[in-house]
């Protein structure tokens, strides 16, 4: 049975020593986030994740969710009670504005708390996680009336949220969607259609479920410019906030899937369900993107979270399992064999995962801080710069941290040898659970296209140039410091590769767009490596002054060097692949596959 210990200290180190959280004190809500409060909240979240949520992870996998004949869905044993405690603790709304019942704390804190929850039990964490995404969309685009009616209960968690995009014949290409909306005399709409893959679409955790649904208003244009976003409650809500009759929406079936069995993945049937428009007609994708961006960051966090819990268990196993002797000589002569942590190839796996996790956690926190600035700063320029960063980092975090997160769960499972393949050890569940973050909220290939096709060329490349400029200036600034050289020298090389790749796209993708598509995935991963490398350099900078007397900080320096020496060189291979262009990829006829 796997265990979990929330990395609270690492999060605090990143917040305080690396990103100087106190410097953001002028932003609304940050004043309430004093160091003491932040630490108390994170320790409590860690405890809740470890003690209440984590013990339900395996039972969630083995029991799964059950749809009853009446269309209701039962979550696994224990989920209801844990969710009740989640609501009582006020965890869902810690970053929601106080006017809707939240605590108004930085969204960065929600990101960290969500990492803990997802490590403990990603299927469970998805129920509140989707609610947070729905809250974000309503905050950004819903009318004050809709906000007043729905947000307080969602912030509490007594109602949960969902997002309804996918239909059987369309996922990525939402322009094809068929769910239709017919306007009624009272300003509401009747929504009819079938949505699939709806996470948390039906369950027994909350009094009500608030569906955000993409549909096409009768007579709207075809394609993506005719899509609108609607709010469709499972149970109708009166003007007084009281629950009324069932709305015309129900769960038709549950999907049997590879993992995340504790979360109900529903086929949702809308049969003339009553809904209300969110934002403007035909601008639904726009509104949904707010939720999707939130969700993409959240999914990236899932990748990190599963990688972290997998690492922790692999590390424990590696220290306990006795097998063979160190090639450099016996290390534990009093034991019948050395623990496998002495073997370089086991350490290769552990160090790789660790380097990605600690760097990835920094990247999530850094991006979340940018998100806080983008939403809360009073300074236009600061907001724009932060928003630019977020635009670049969101697809990178989603695509790269989920790809690496999955690969890391596989590597951690490998440390167990044959035992890793056995269900009761729990490692194979991490692998199965970690597979879906690579797919949902836009498959990772789509993240790569978003980055290359949209983000790097937006506003004349402003965001990209700012990012490369920031990294370049950092490298230059720190290069004089001998102790920083092992970090910033490789970072400079990798950032140079990223720059070359960006230039290559500019020169070669205009005339032949396939060249951009063909290199997008490598570019995304190269970007991820550079971003992680930048994080590691900043971690090293913060760790250096303390490394002599603090083993944790010394280990940061070692892990950072491992990242620089062993992982960052991969940017050269990415560059070579990008520069190979699309020719051999696109040469075969479609029917030759």
Residue closer to a copy of itself by CB (options 122, 342) is 342
Do 558 and 358 form a contact (C-beta atoms < 8 A)? Answer: no
Distance of closest approach, residue 500 Cβ to a copy of itself, in angstroms? 14
Binding residue (CB under 8 A) for a copy of itself from 20, 169, 225, 476: 169
In sequence order, the β-bridge partners of residue 217 are 181
Tell me the window of 96-104, 123-131, 294-302, 336-344 that interacts with a copy of itself (CB under 8 A).
336-344
- Supply 547's token pair: 């490394």
Q: Is 328 in the site for a copy of itself (CB under 8 A)?
A: yes
Strands 235-237 and 243-246: antiparallel
Backbone angles phi, psi at 93, to 5 degrees: -100, 25
Residue closer to a copy of itself by CB (options 150, 406) is 406
The Cα–Cα gap between 354 and 356 comes to 5
Q: Is 145 helix (H, G, I), strand (E, B) or coil?
A: helix
Distance of closest approach, residue 328 Cβ to a copy of itself, in angstroms? 5
Binding residue (CB under 8 A) for a copy of itself from 336, 381, 548, 549: 336
Residue closer to a copy of itself by CB (options 256, 334) is 256
The Cα–Cα gap between 105 and 34 comes to 10
- Supply 99's token pair: 């006017």
Residue 441: active-site member: yes
Positions 354 through 373 that interact with a copy of itself (CB under 8 A): 354
Distance of closest approach, residue 339 Cβ to a copy of itself, in angstroms? 7
Q: Is 221 in the site for a copy of itself (CB under 8 A)?
A: no
Distance of closest approach, residue 564 Cβ to a copy of itself, in angstroms? 8
Positions 98 through 117 that interact with a copy of itself (CB under 8 A): none
Binding residue (CB under 8 A) for a copy of itself from 20, 47, 68, 348: 348
Residue closer to a copy of itself by CB (options 398, 432) is 432
The Cα–Cα gap between 340 and 34 comes to 42
- What mask of x and - would describe binding to a copy of itself in positions 384 to 423, judged by CB under 8 A? ----------------------x---x--xx--xx-xxxx
In sequence order, the β-bridge partners of residue 354 are none
Instruction: Report how far Cα 324 is from the mean position of its chain's Cα atoms.
Output: 39
Residue closer to a copy of itself by CB (options 345, 548) is 345
| DSSP classification of residue 69 | T
Residue closer to a copy of itself by CB (options 212, 431) is 431
Tell me the window of 19-27, 102-110, 495-503, 584-592 that interacts with a copy of itself (CB under 8 A).
584-592
Residue closer to a copy of itself by CB (options 156, 541) is 541
Distance of closest approach, residue 348 Cβ to a copy of itself, in angstroms? 6
Residue closer to a copy of itself by CB (options 37, 443) is 443
Q: Is 166 in the site for a copy of itself (CB under 8 A)?
A: yes
Positions 558 through 577 that interact with a copy of itself (CB under 8 A): 558-559, 561-562, 565-566, 569-570, 572-573, 576-577
- Supply 170's token pair: 């369309």
Tell me the window of 36-44, 122-130, 182-190, 578-586 that interacts with a copy of itself (CB under 8 A).
578-586
Binding residue (CB under 8 A) for a copy of itself from 143, 158, 479, 555: 555
Positions 427 through 466 that interact with a copy of itself (CB under 8 A): 428, 431-432, 435-436, 438-440, 443-445, 448-449, 453
Q: Is 487 in the site for a copy of itself (CB under 8 A)?
A: no
Burial environment of residue 312 by CB neighbours within 10 A (0 to 12, 13 to 18, 19 or more): buried
DSSP H helical segments within 66-176, as ranges?
A: 79-88, 107-141, 144-156
Residue closer to a copy of itself by CB (options 76, 560) is 560
Residue closer to a copy of itself by CB (options 62, 72) is 62
In sequence order, the β-bridge partners of residue 265 are 199
Positions 231 through 270 that interact with a copy of itself (CB under 8 A): 255-259
Distance of closest approach, residue 575 Cβ to a copy of itself, in angstroms? 9
Compute, in degrees rounded to 10, the torsion defined by CA atoms 197, 200, 201, 204: 150
Distance of closest approach, residue 56 Cβ to a copy of itself, in angstroms? 19
Single out the catalytic residue among 115, 294, 441, 541.
441
- Nearest residue to 232 (alpha-carbon basis) of 139, 138, 166: 138
- Supply 367's token pair: 């991006």
Q: Is 320 in the site for a copy of itself (CB under 8 A)?
A: no
- Nearest residue to 523 (alpha-carbon basis) of 502, 537, 495: 502
Tell me the window of 49-57, 117-125, 155-163, 171-179 that interacts with a copy of itself (CB under 8 A).
171-179
Positions 283 through 312 that interact with a copy of itself (CB under 8 A): none
Q: Is 318 in the site for a copy of itself (CB under 8 A)?
A: yes
Cβ neighbour number for residue 20 with a 10 Å cutoff: 11
Q: What is the 3-state secondary structure (H, E, C) of 210-255?
A: EEEEEEEECCCCCHHHHEEEEEEECEEECCCCCEEEECCEEEEEEC
Instruction: Spell out the residues 6+ positions from residue 343 whose beta carbon is closer than 8 angstroms to its own.
Output: 324, 326, 327
The Cα–Cα gap between 2 and 409 comes to 13
Binding residue (CB under 8 A) for a copy of itself from 85, 512, 546, 547: 512
Q: What is the 3-state secondary structure (H, E, C) of 270-307?
A: EEEEEEEEECCCCEHHHHHHHHHHHHHHHHHHHHHHHH
- Nearest residue to 404 (alpha-carbon basis) of 323, 301, 324: 301
Distance of closest approach, residue 128 Cβ to a copy of itself, in angstroms? 22
The Cα–Cα gap between 384 and 163 comes to 27
What is the set of active-site residues?
A: 441
């Amino acid at each position: 049975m796997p265990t979990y210990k929330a990395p609270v200290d690492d999060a605090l180190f990143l917040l305080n020593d690396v990103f100087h959280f106190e410097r953001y004190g002028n932003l609304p809500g940050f004043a309430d986030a004093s160091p003491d409060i932040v630490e108390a909240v994170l320790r409590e979240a860690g405890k809740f994740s470890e003690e209440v949520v984590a013990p339900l992870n395996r039972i969630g996998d083995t029991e799964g969710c059950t749809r009853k004949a009446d269309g209701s869905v039962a979550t696994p044993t224990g989920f209801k009670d844990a969710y009740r405690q989640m609501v009582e603790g006020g965890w869902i709304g810690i970053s929601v504005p106080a006017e809707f019942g939240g605590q108004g704390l930085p969204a960065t804190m929600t990101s960290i708390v969500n990492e803990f929850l997802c490590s403990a039990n990603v299927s469970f964490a998805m129920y509140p996680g989707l609610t947070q995404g729905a809250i974000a969309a309503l905050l950004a685009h819903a009318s004050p009336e809709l906000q007043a009616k729905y947000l307080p209960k969602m912030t509490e968690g007594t109602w949960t949220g969902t997002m309804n995009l996918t239909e059987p014949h369309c996922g990525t290409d939402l322009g094809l969607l068929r769910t239709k909306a017919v306007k009624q005399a009272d300003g509401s709409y009747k929504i009819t259609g079938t949505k699939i893959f709806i996470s948390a679409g039906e369950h027994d955790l909350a009094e009500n479920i608030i569906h955000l649904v993409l549909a096409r208003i009768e007579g709207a244009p075809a394609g993506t410019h005719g899509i609108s976003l609607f709010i469709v409650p499972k149970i109708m809500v009166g003007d007084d906030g009281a629950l009324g009759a069932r709305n015309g929406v129900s769960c038709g079936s549950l999907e049997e899937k590879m993992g995340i069995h504790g979360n109900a993945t529903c086929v949702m049937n809308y049969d003339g369900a009553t809904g209300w428009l969110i934002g403007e007609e035909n601008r639904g994708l726009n509104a949904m993107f707010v939720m999707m961006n939130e969700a993409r960051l959240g999914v990236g966090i899932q990748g990190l979270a599963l990688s972290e819990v997998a690492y922790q268990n692999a590390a424990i196993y590696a220290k306990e399992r006795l097998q063979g002797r160190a090639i450099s000589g016996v290390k534990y002569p009093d034991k019948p064999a050395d623990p496998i942590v002495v073997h370089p190839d086991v350490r290769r796996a552990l160090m790789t995962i660790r380097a990605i996790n600690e760097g990835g956690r920094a990247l999530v926190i850094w991006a979340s801080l940018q998100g806080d600035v983008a939403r809360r700063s009073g300074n236009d320029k600061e907001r724009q710069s932060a928003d630019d960063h977020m635009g670049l980092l969101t697809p990178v975090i989603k695509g790269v941290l989920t790809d690496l997160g999955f690969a890391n769960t596989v590597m951690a499972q490998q440390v167990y040898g044959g035992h890793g393949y056995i269900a009761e050890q729990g490692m194979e569940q991490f692998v199965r659970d970690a597979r879906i973050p690579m797919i949902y909220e836009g498959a990772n290939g789509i993240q790569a296209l978003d980055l290359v096709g949209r983000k790097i060329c937006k506003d004349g490349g402003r965001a990209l140039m700012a990012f490369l400029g920031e990294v370049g200036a950092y490298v230059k600034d720190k290069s004089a410091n001998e102790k920083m050289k092992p970090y910033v020298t490789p970072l400079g090389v990798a950032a140079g590769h990223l720059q070359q790749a960006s230039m290559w796209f500019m020169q070669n993708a205009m005339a032949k767009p396939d060249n951009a598509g063909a290199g997008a995935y490598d570019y995304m991963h190269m970007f991820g490596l550079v971003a992680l490398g930048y994080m590691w350099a900043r971690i090293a900078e913060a760790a250096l002054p303390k490394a002599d007397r603090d083993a944790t900080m010394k280990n940061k320096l070692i892990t950072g060097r491992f990242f620089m020496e062993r992982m960052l060189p991969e940017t050269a291979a990415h560059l070579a692949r990008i520069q190979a262009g699309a020719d051999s990829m696109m040469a075969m006829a479609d029917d030759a596959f």
